[in-house]
Amino acid sequence: MLQGGAPMNVPSKLCAGLLLALLGLGLSACGRSQPQAAAGTSPVAAAGPARCGEHPWCDTRLSADARADRLLAEMTLEEKISLLGGDDVFATTPLPSQTRHTGTSFGIERLGIPTIYYADGPHGVAQATGGTPMPAGIALAASWDPRLAYRYGSVIGEQARGRGNDVVFAPNLDLVRNPFWGRNMETMGEDPFLARTFAPPLVHGIQDQGVIANAKHFVGNHQDGALSVPPEGFPLPPLTGAVGGRFTTDVVVSERALREIYLQSYEAAVKEGGVGTVMCSYNRLNGPWACENPFTLTQVLREEWGFKGYVLADYNAVHIPQAGLNAGLDFEPWPALVYSPLVVQAVRAVALVSDETINKRVRNILRTHFAFGVFDRAAYPDDISRIDTEGHFAASRSIAEQGMVLMKNDGELLPLPARAGLKLALIGAAADRYNAGRGSSFVIPLKTTTLRQGLEARAAAAGVELRYDPGTSTSTAAALAREADVVIVAVSNHMTEGHDQPCLSLDCGGLLGPLGEALSFTPECLLSDCAGNQDALIAAVAAANPKTMVVMQTGGQVLTPWRDQVPAILEAWYPGADGGTAMARVLFGDVNPSGKLPITFPQHTVDTPVGGDLLRYPGNGVQVFYSDDVLMGYRWYDAQGLEPAFPFGHGLSYTRFRYSDLQVNDRDISATVANIGTREGAEVAQLYLGLPQPAPGIVQPPHQLKGFQKVQLSPGESARVHFALDARSFAYWDEAGARWSVAPGCYGVAVGSSSRALPLQGVIAQAGGNCP
C-alpha cells in the first residue's frame, strides 16, 4: 500500500495472501510493511477523489455490466485473484491495525480499482472510537412500523459512510427459531412475513446513504452453541458453544420450511430491496457448508431471485476453495486464507476451478461496485464530525419508544402520575447501567442514558420523589418498596454472539458477571425452568408492595414466573443510546406505548418449539434437526394447543381499541379499528390466514400472519384498515412439484390485535375451492 493509504498493487496483495497463509503473522512475507494513516484519520480519507480515472470502464454512460466487462478484459489473472480475498488480518482483533474497519480489500492502482472498506453494523457502526447505538433489531421489529425501518437503516448507512466505509454488514435477516440463541436481539423476530416486510426499507435506508447493505446470515444461522460461558474475568465471550456450535453444526431442514420460513426475508431484501451484498453463514445446510452451497448461493439466490450483487463469507466461514468458488461465493473478507492468491492459484493449476468461474466471481464484485457508484465518487473520509450524532441520538430514542411493548397493565397502574409528592422506588442493577447485546453488533456508545438517569430527570420535572436501590439485598429492596407509593423493578438479561443463553430465565441464577452474564451453567436448564436471581428480587419486592411493575431490558423472550404477582410489565428490549429517556417517557405517559411482540413469550422452557428435544437444539454435536418444520414460533404454540405467557403480536396501550365490520372481497380484506378510549394512540391491526391442508401428511399451521397495518387514532376516531393479498399469500411450497402452489379449498380469515386476540373471523375460497 502506498503512503497515506493509496491502493495496494498486485505484488503486495500476493504478499498479503502469503502473509495470511503463514499463520496470519503480522510481518510481510515479502518484506513490505503497511504504512499507517495519519493520526485521527482513516487511510480511506487520503485516497482522494480520483478513484477511477480516464479508463474506458470509467465512462458513467455505460451500464454497470458493460463497465465490469471492460475492466475484467483488461485485468491479469493475478489481479483478478487478488480481489477475491480481504487484506487486513488485524481487522477483527484488538491488535494495532492499519484501519479501524472490520475488513479491507485493497484496490489496484493501475486500473483505478478503489480500496473497499467494510464495517459491522446491524445496530450502528461498530468501530473502535464509538458511535450511537440504535435499539436492538428486535425492538425495531416490535414497532411493527416499516417506516421506522427506513429511518433505522438510514442512521446505520450514515454512520457507515461517516466512518469511511463502503459496505456495512447489516441487516441481520435471521429469524428467532431458537429462544436460547445469543443473537436473537439482532433479528426482526420469529415470523417470516414480519421480517420480510422490514427487510426492504432497512436495505433502502442504508443504501440511500451511498453505502452498500449486506443481508446476513444466509441461511440457517439460529444458534451459536450451548453449554459454554465465558470464564469469570475474561473480557471476551467464546467464539462458539461447546455443543451445537455455529462453526460445525449441520442444519437439517426441509425445503418447504426453508422456503416458507427462513428464506423469506432474504428474498424480499433481494427482490424488493435491491441489496448489494449477501453474507453466507457459518453452518452447514443439509450437508454442504452454507458458504459452499450451490443450491442456496446459485440456484435460489441468482437463478430464481435474480441477485446481481456479490456474496461474501462470514469471517472464517470458508473451508474448501474450489467448493466456495464453484458454488457461488465471491469474496472471503477475513482472513483470506482459503481465498488467498496462493491457494486459488493452486486449485486453478490442478483444474479444480476454471478461469471462467474466477471471472464470474470477480465480475460480480466489480459490477456491484460500479452499480453503486463506488468507482465514481471520492473515498468517504473517516470523520465522525460529519455524522449527525445528535440526530441519531434522537432517532434512537424515538424508535425505542415506538418499539416498547406494554405486556400487562392491570388496574391501569401505568402511566405513572406526574404528581408532586409521589414516592417512586426504582430497584435493580439493570436500571443503572447501559444494557445491550454483545458481539459484533455491539457499538461502543459515545453517550447513553440509563433508566435511572431518565427517571431522575423526568421525576424531578414533575416533583416526584425517586429513590434507588440496586437490589443486591432482597430484604433492603423490599424495605424500600414498602415505603413507596409505586415501585419499578428493572431487570435485564445478557445476550451475546459466541454462545447461547444457558437458560431462558433472566439470569439463570448462580454467579453473575458485571453485565448480568452467567458465569456458570446447568445443562438441565435447556429442558426445564431455572429460576434466576432477578426472579427472586421481583417476587420479594412484589410481596412488599402490590403496586410493583417490572421494566425488562432483554434481547428476546424470557420466562416470567412472577407475571401474576405484578400488575404491570413493560418490555423495553435493548433500547439503545437514549433508552433511559425513552423508558421514562413511556412510563410517565408522555408517549403512549404501541409496540407489539414480534416473538412469543413461553410459560415454560419445555413449551418452546425447541424445548424438551435436544435434537432440535442444540443437536447431537453434528446435526441439529428442524423437525418443528413450518411450525416455528407462534405456529408451534397454536398447533400444540399451548397457552403462551404472552402471545405473538400482543401489546397493550394506554387507550382501548375496538375491531368491527370485517369485509372479505376476493383478495381485498378490510376492517374498522376504532379508538374507544380517552387518549390518542396507535394500534397494529393484524391479519392471519388459515390455509387448508392440501394433502394428507402436509401440515399447515392453524393460522399465519399475512398482513398488518399500524394506525394512529384520536379518541373517538376510527379508520378502515386494508390488507391487499396476492397469490403468494395463499401459497405453500409444494415439495413434490418444486413450486409455490395454492391448494383448492376454504381459507380462514382472522383480524385482531394479536395472534391470540382475533375477534373478526371470516372465510375465503381459493383455487376453485368452496366454503360451506
**Band of residue 110 on the pLDDT scale cut at 50, 70, 90:** very high
Question: Cis omega before residue 219 (within 30°)?
Answer: yes
**Residue 662, number of CB atoms within 10 A of its CB:** 18
3-state DSSP assignment of residue 224:
coil
Type of residue at 1: M
**DSSP H/E element including 749:** strand 745-752
**Band of residue 530 on the pLDDT scale cut at 50, 70, 90:** confident
Mean per-residue pLDDT of the chain: 90
**Band of residue 557 on the pLDDT scale cut at 50, 70, 90:** very high
What cell numbers appear for 528 in the block?
426445564
Buried b (16+ CB within 10 A) or exposed e, 721-758: bebebeeebbbbbbeeeeeebbbebebbbbbbbbbbeb
Q: Which CATH number fits domain 10-26+45-226+238-386: 3.20.20.220, 3.20.20.300, 2.170.270.10, 3.50.50.60?
A: 3.20.20.300
* Residue limits of CATH 2.60.40.10 in the chain: 657-766
Give Cα 764 to chain centroid, integer Å: 35
Q: What is the pLDDT of residue 377?
A: 95
User: Which residue among the candidates 87, 191, 314, 628 is catalytic per the annotation?
Assistant: 314
The CA R_g of the chain, rounded to the nearest whole Å, is 26
Summarize pLDDT for 308-365 with one digit per residue, the tens: 999 999 999 999 999 999 999 999 998 899 999 999 999 999 999 999 999 999 999 9
Confidence check: pLDDT of 106 > 90: yes
Cell 448480568 maps to which residue?
516
**Band of residue 32 on the pLDDT scale cut at 50, 70, 90:** very low
Average pLDDT rounded to a whole number, residues 203-211: 98
What does the DSSP 8-state code read for residue 332?
Answer: B
Q: What is the pLDDT of residue 241?
A: 81
Q: Which CATH number fits domain 657-766: 3.30.460.80, 2.60.40.10, 3.40.50.2300, 3.90.1150.10?
A: 2.60.40.10
Buried b (16+ CB within 10 A) or exposed e, 107-125: bbbebbbbbbbbbbbbbbb
Confidence check: pLDDT of 26 > 50: no
What cell numbers appear for 86 in the block?
480481504
Average pLDDT rounded to a whole number, residues 133-146: 98
Least confident interval from 244-248, 576-580, 638-642: 244-248
What cell numbers appear for 50 in the block?
480520483
**Band of residue 36 on the pLDDT scale cut at 50, 70, 90:** very low
Please answer whether residues 230 and 502 qualify as being in contact, where contact means their C-beta atoms are separated by less than 8 angstroms.
no
Nearest to 541 by CA among 492, 490, 482, 466: 482
Q: What is the pLDDT of residue 14?
A: 41
Alpha-carbon gap, residue 85 to 108, rounded angstroms: 13
Confidence check: pLDDT of 382 > 70: yes
What percent of the chain has pLDDT above 90?
83
Q: What is the pLDDT of residue 231?
A: 52
Backbone angles phi, psi at 468, to 5 degrees: -120, 145
Please answer whether residues 527 and 606 qualify as being in contact, where contact means their C-beta atoms are separated by less than 8 angstroms.
yes
Nearest to 188 by CA among 171, 206, 203: 171
- Work out whether strand 739-741 and strand 732-734 pair parallel, antiparallel, or are unpaired: antiparallel
Confidence check: pLDDT of 95 > 90: no
Confidence check: pLDDT of 705 > 60: yes
* Residue limits of CATH 3.20.20.300 in the chain: 10-26+45-226+238-386
Confidence check: pLDDT of 210 > 90: yes
Q: What is the pLDDT of residue 335?
A: 82
**DSSP H/E element including 537:** helix 533-544
Confidence check: pLDDT of 253 > 50: yes
Average pLDDT rounded to a whole number, residues 478-498: 96
**DSSP H/E element including 294:** helix 294-294
Nearest to 502 by CA among 129, 632, 510: 510
β-bridge mates for residue 711, sequence order: 683
**Band of residue 90 on the pLDDT scale cut at 50, 70, 90:** low
Q: What is the pLDDT of residue 48?
A: 41
Catalytic residue check, 314: yes
**Residue 377, number of CB atoms within 10 A of its CB:** 14
Alpha-carbon gap, residue 191 to 200, rounded angstroms: 16
Confidence check: pLDDT of 13 > 70: no
Backbone angles phi, psi at 661, to 5 degrees: 55, 60
* Residue limits of CATH 3.40.50.1700 in the chain: 390-640
Confidence check: pLDDT of 233 > 90: no
| pTM of the model as a whole | 0.93
Q: 3-state secondary structure string, 16-78?
A: HHHHHHCCCCCCCCCCCCCCCCCCCCCHHHHCCCCCCCCCHHHCCCCCHHHHHHHHHHHCCHH
Least confident interval from 36-50, 146-160, 746-760: 36-50
Average pLDDT rounded to a whole number, residues 120-126: 92
Q: What is the pLDDT of residue 521?
A: 59
Cell 423490599 maps to which residue?
478
Q: Which long-range contacts (CB under 8 A, 24 or more apart) does 513-518 make?
A: 513/230, 513/232, 515/433, 515/435, 515/438, 516/429, 516/430, 516/435, 516/492, 517/229, 517/230, 518/229, 518/494
Backbone φ/ψ region at 31: left (φ over 0), alpha (ψ -120 to 50), beta: left
Please answer whether residues 280 and 325 qualify as being in contact, where contact means their C-beta atoms are separated by less than 8 angstroms.
no
Q: Which residues contact 177 (CB under 8 A, 6 or more apart)?
A: 190, 222, 262, 609, 610, 626, 628, 632, 633
CATH topology of domain 390-640: Rossmann fold (3.40.50)
Greatest distance between any 2 Cα atoms in the chain:
82
Q: What is the pLDDT of residue 57?
A: 97
- Burial class for 18, CB neighbours closer than 10 Å (0-12, 13-18, 19+): middle
3-state DSSP assignment of residue 544:
helix
- 3-class SS shares of the chain: helix, strand, coil, % to 5: 30, 20, 50
Q: Which residues contact 408 (CB under 8 A, 6 or more apart)?
A: 563, 566, 567, 568, 569, 646, 652
**Residue 378, number of CB atoms within 10 A of its CB:** 13
Of the chain, the end-to-end C-alpha distance in Å amounts to 74
Please answer whether residues 491 and 538 qualify as being in contact, where contact means their C-beta atoms are separated by less than 8 angstroms.
yes
- Burial class for 129, CB neighbours closer than 10 Å (0-12, 13-18, 19+): exposed
Nearest to 137 by CA among 468, 534, 403: 403
**Band of residue 513 on the pLDDT scale cut at 50, 70, 90:** low
Give whole-number Cα distances, 4 to 8, 42, 160, 402, in Å.
11, 9, 21, 44
Please answer whether residues 646 and 601 qualify as being in contact, where contact means their C-beta atoms are separated by less than 8 angstroms.
yes
Q: Which residues contact 758 (CB under 8 A, 6 or more apart)?
A: 686, 688, 703, 750, 751, 752
Confidence check: pLDDT of 2 > 50: no
Please answer whether residues 455 and 516 qualify as being in contact, where contact means their C-beta atoms are separated by less than 8 angstroms.
no
Confidence check: pLDDT of 188 > 60: yes
Backbone φ/ψ region at 84: left (φ over 0), alpha (ψ -120 to 50), beta: alpha
Average pLDDT rounded to a whole number, residues 69-80: 98
Please answer whether residues 490 and 543 qualify as being in contact, where contact means their C-beta atoms are separated by less than 8 angstroms.
no
Q: What is the pLDDT of residue 410?
A: 98
Q: Which residues contact 285 (CB under 8 A, 6 or more apart)?
A: 219, 220, 250, 251, 253, 293, 295, 296
Q: Which residues contact 376 (CB under 8 A, 6 or more apart)?
A: 51, 52, 58, 60
**Band of residue 226 on the pLDDT scale cut at 50, 70, 90:** confident
What percent of the chain has pLDDT above 70?
89
Alpha helix locations (H) across 350-450?
Answer: 355-371, 389-403
**Residue 286, number of CB atoms within 10 A of its CB:** 17
